[in-house]
Amino acid sequence: MIKVGEKLPDVTFNVPTSEGTKPMTTSDVFGGKTVALFAVPGAFTPTCSARHLPSFRDKVAEFKAKGVDTIACTAVNDHFVMGAWARDQGVFEDIVMLADGSGEFARAVGLDADFSKFGMGPRSKRYSMIVKDGVVSQLNVEEGGEYKVSSAEYLLDQLS
Catalytic residue positions, numbered: 48
Separation of alpha carbons 146 and 42, rounded Å:
14
Alpha helix ranges (H) inside the chain: 26-30, 46-47, 53-57, 60-65, 79-89, 104-108, 152-158
Per DSSP, the three-state class of 22 is: strand
In the 8-state DSSP scheme, what is residue 78? -
